[in-house]
Structure 1
């Protein structure tokens, strides 16, 4: 006998009116992404920065060499983006726009701030037709027996890999730049915040995925007494100039990992399925000494956590679906990470303090 379904509560008139507004908002929220893409392609964040940090609409029209007739339309675009926190606006007597921390990330050419990275490549990758088409066709993907992620299913090529470079070299280059920004941003902040993780460590292997050695170089600079090894695909290692400080090794973390007291996996595992992650972690365990000898693996990755607040949690969930579309990987909560750690044969783990949308786990053999 089927379980009795709870009785349906008919919404009130006020709830239905609010629901309609919520439906409109959720149906059209992609326009915020497109407006942000438009502003970035026009160079608005960089223009505001170049104008001293504040600009009126006429200032922007002149600086960007836009037709004067577009001024009212630009005002509507800026109004939407300001309401979303992309820009700040002061109305006195005409609207003057300034940068917020979000739009600061989209300024091109800031050299003085070591913590700055232009995030335009990431934004332009995930708002490109190559990516948007995946979301548009997601229902079709669900109905099919396709075992490949939506990106591979749609494009007959894999994101970040040579197969995509052959099909769309321009998009491939942009996506690699986006990946580097995504992975490397705030590396210097993380090194300061997590100095204790490296106390007493004599050697580190940094396992990368299409990296450029940024983390390894930052670690070598911050901890000159630690031997730093960077492992990445051979074709990626060949692109990194030898510096005589970091040991660059071309290889495959699915096969073996250079031995070290500590193995670092920063923004790597979310690209892979649980089964693949267990294989990688098992190889990490083989590469480190016992816990008594200081052996450990450090995972820096997104950790799904409702307690992080509704905005941050939604960001984490969006990144989860993003990985589902692109690579077939996933974001994980603490319980998911614990299960992977145990399946890979580790004995214990410790969750360190959060780092934006990410967290850091120390795991022990």
Structure 2
């Protein structure tokens, strides 16, 4: 290790020591709706950057701690300082002013803000990345369904709305990436079944983008019973471990990473049986880990997501291409391909 590398290591170790605070600060900013306020201010009237005092008044936080929070967020490129707008009063022209960045635009309520709130709200006090959990392969605070750890921890009811909003936020972002980068994947499909699609966020976007689709959401009765009615979407209460309704194509978005290999193979076999043998396909929207990660801007996010899955599910995980290929072959699919949709997840198409 050279001197430069040693110096970088001495600096980097402090980033790990204090790394937990990053998510906490971003969560706080999201809860205060700072990204939304900055964006709204830029678009209101004459618009432009918002001053510290204006932001303080909007969020109800004194200027001194708010300045420190914003300084931290600016360092991490979530906001940026900006010259005051031409119409600024002389009393505020000397104040620091804040403007949005591409990162802050992704942290608004209509984007990934709900997902950030979930990451700052863990579903239980005992995390999966502990010596005990790693040694035993189980978390003591998790219940079991079909022999698998589930999200049904004792205190998770409190976080259910946060979880539902978070999954909707992810579905919105991932589905838009699918629509923008892989529209040809839906050509020739008349009926699409979304397994574990909760309240139909992803499927409603797909039906709107591809009007020839008819969509069905399969999820647990306690989930679909509270789903609002959506045009072109039919909701079915049931378990993917028991029965999957027939459809031209089946979509699994962020479902299989919750489960062990054995459970995934079982689910995939049922999906294969539910589609036509000659024209059907299963579309898996999940991360594909590249262990080299050379030149991949999402490699770090995928590896972090794998640590998140380890911390909350133990048996759940993100998978490499080889691991996905193994599951699909064991489930009896004849061929598959992976489509890059320019985000943290990819589309894996599997054919009977």
TM-score class, shorter-chain normalisation, is 0.7 to 0.9
Cα 1:73/1:89, change in 2 over 3 Å: same
CA offsets, 1:202-236, max 9 Å, x none?
22211125x10122222333333333222111221
1:207 corresponds in structure 2 to 195
1:301 corresponds in structure 2 to 286
2:172 corresponds in structure 1 to 184
State the distance in 2 between where 1:27 and 1:333 align.
29
2:51 corresponds in structure 1 to 56
1:229 aligns with 2:224: no
1:111 corresponds in structure 2 to none
State the distance in 2 between where 1:308 and 1:265 align.
28
Question: 2:22 pairs with 10, 25, 32, which one?
Answer: 32
Aligned CA RMSD, in angstroms, stands at 2.7
Question: 1:123 pairs with 112, 116, 129, which one?
Answer: 116
Question: Contact 2:174–2:345 (CA<8 Å) still a contact in 1?
Answer: no
Listed as ranges, the gaps of 5+ residues in structure 2 are 43-47, 85-93, 144-148
Alignment of 1:19-168 (within 5 A): 19-52=9-42, 54-67=49-62, 71-90=63-82, 94-108=95-109, 116-117=110-111, 119-128=112-121, 130=123, 134=127, 138-143=130-135, 145=136, 147-149=137-139, 152=142, 160-161=151-152, 164=154, 167-168=155-156
Question: Contact 1:149–1:325 (CA<8 Å) still a contact in 2?
Answer: no
Question: 1:313 pairs with 299, 302, 315, which one?
Answer: 299
CA offsets, 1:118-172, max 9 Å, x none?
x33322222236567627x7234334x2x4347628xxxx7643x54xx353323
2:87 corresponds in structure 1 to none
1:197 corresponds in structure 2 to 185
Cα 1:168/1:215, change in 2 over 3 Å: closer
Deviation at 1:267, TM superposition (A): 1.6
Q: What TM-score, normalized to structure 2?
A: 0.84
- Secondary structure, in 3 states, of the residue corresponding to 2:340? coil
State the distance in 1 between where 2:125 and 2:96 align.
33
CA offsets, 1:168-194, max 9 Å, x none?
533232222222222333424422432
Cα 1:203/1:15, change in 2 over 3 Å: closer
State the distance in 2 between where 1:296 and 1:169 align.
35
State the distance in 1 between where 2:310 and 2:211 align.
38
Cα 1:322/1:90, change in 2 over 3 Å: same
Question: Contact 2:269–2:331 (CA<8 Å) still a contact in 1?
Answer: yes
Cα 1:331/1:300, change in 2 over 3 Å: same
State the distance in 2 between where 1:122 and 1:171 align.
12
2:332 corresponds in structure 1 to 345
2:274 corresponds in structure 1 to 287
Deviation at 1:297, TM superposition (A): 0.9
Question: Aligned residues, how many?
Answer: 332
Listed as ranges, the gaps of 5+ residues in structure 1 are 1-10, 109-115
Higher relative contact order (CA 8 A, sep 6+): 2
Cα 1:308/1:195, change in 2 over 3 Å: farther
Question: Contact 1:208–1:232 (CA<8 Å) still a contact in 2?
Answer: yes
Question: Contact 2:124–2:156 (CA<8 Å) still a contact in 1?
Answer: no
Q: What TM-score, normalized to structure 1?
A: 0.81
Cα 1:14/1:207, change in 2 over 3 Å: closer
- Secondary structure, in 3 states, of the residue corresponding to 2:81? strand
Write out the 4+ residue segments of structure 1 that deviate beyond 6 Å after TM superposition: none
